[in-house]
Amino acid sequence: MNLHLAVDAGGTSTRCVVLDETGGCLGYGRAASGNPISAGPALAAYSVAEAAATALTHAEAAHGAGGADVVVVLLAMAGASSLSGPELFAAELAPLGVDAPVVFAPDLLATFCSGTWLPAGYALVAGTGATAVRVENGSVARTADGLGWLLGDDGSGFWVGQRVVRAAAADLDGRGPRTELTSLVLSQLGLEDDGTRHHGRPAVLDRIIKLLYSQRPVELSRLSPLAFAAGDDPVARAIVSAAADALVHSLEAVADPGVTGPVVLGGGTITQHDELAARIAAAGTRDVQVVADGAVGAAVLALRQASVVVDEPVFDRITRTLAALR
């Protein structure tokens, strides 16, 4: 039996699928971040091997097939090409009996292939970051944004979270309108405005500064749900609206009238807030689908890497059998 090991390595968690050449998923495993940029290369490789070990144990117990039957390992991850190479991952997988070529794929392509077996269309992912791609002939043909919190990621979780805390800070020091976000931010940060002032502004601002500058900037992404939780607060509504506009804008930047495939949406900022997906769908004329992650797509890409044709029946089998394992 030929097995295919497909890994969707994200900034928060890693998912691994073991599947046969008909698209039947035999094992599934999860681990911590397998992304070398966010976790560091060593920890990333360790997480990938951990998720793979669980998936292979699964497959072996149920089907009697293990690491030695793997013919290809596909790793879907952001920024894969800027890394030194696949050797580090191959070395961590070797103790599992896996002795197969390790191939990288862009995470956005895995997201796209999680939503469709078609060879062309679009993917838009907004988690902590945000990126849009156009896919043609099964490859990424065009990319917009995905430049990180400092230089881009318009409409991402960081982008929303930073606007949330800046709006709260502007409210507190009298530069911005009153907003519900202020009490929500203080509550989430475990702080309280006790009325004390320092140089004529609330002293709680100094505590917000001390707290947030001691964290990594991307942690502001954790404040992004407050924008959606603030009801009809006009400041919060404006942030959500601007985020939707920014995401639609990135999608439009990669659009080509000749490429009519579907738009696949992913990433926590979109998947946890139906409103964003609805607004993105309403802005265009293409078929829009939301996917939880890139696990199905990584499985699709693993089969294609082994020259298996993934058509609608195979795609449906992957989706159905993987859902049963999760």
C-beta separation of 167 from 174 below 8 A: no
Please count the residues of the chain: 326
Residues 29-88 that bind a second copy (CB under 8 A): 81-82
Residues 230-259 that bind a second copy (CB under 8 A): 249-250, 253-254
State which H helix or E strand residue 54 sits in: helix 41-63
State which H helix or E strand residue 76 sits in: strand 70-77
Residue choice 32, 43, 141, 238 for contact with a second copy (CB under 8 A): 141
Task: Report residue 151 as tokens.
Answer: 């230089």
Q: Does 144 bind a second copy (CB under 8 A)?
A: yes
Residue choice 83, 170, 189, 242 for contact with a second copy (CB under 8 A): 170
C-beta separation of 293 from 266 below 8 A: yes
Q: What is the DSSP letter of 121?
A: E
Q: Does 137 bind a second copy (CB under 8 A)?
A: no
**What are the DSSP calls for 143-165, one per residue?**
EEE---TTT--TTSHHHHHHHHH
Stretch that binds a second copy, among 54-62, 164-172, 225-233, 279-287 (CB under 8 A): 164-172
Residues 176-235 that bind a second copy (CB under 8 A): 198-201, 205-206, 208-210, 212-213, 217, 220
Task: Report residue 238 as tokens.
Answer: 């404006």
Instruction: Report d(CA 124, CA 111) in Å as an integer.
Output: 8
Q: Closer to a second copy by CB, 156 or 162: give it.
A: 162
For 78-186, strand residue ranges (E) read: 102-106, 121-126, 130-136, 139-145
What is residue 304's three-state secondary structure?
A: helix
Q: Closer to a second copy by CB, 174 or 257: give it.
A: 174
Residue choice 32, 43, 103, 140 for contact with a second copy (CB under 8 A): 140
From the CB of 257, what's the least distance to a second copy, in Å?
15
Q: Closer to a second copy by CB, 198 or 320: give it.
A: 198
Instruction: Report d(CA 32, CA 36) in Å as an integer.
Output: 12
Give the footprint of a second copy on this chain (CB under 8 A): 81-82, 106, 133-134, 140-145, 147-148, 150-152, 154, 162, 165-166, 169-170, 173-175, 198-201, 205-206, 208-210, 212-213, 217, 220, 249-250, 253-254
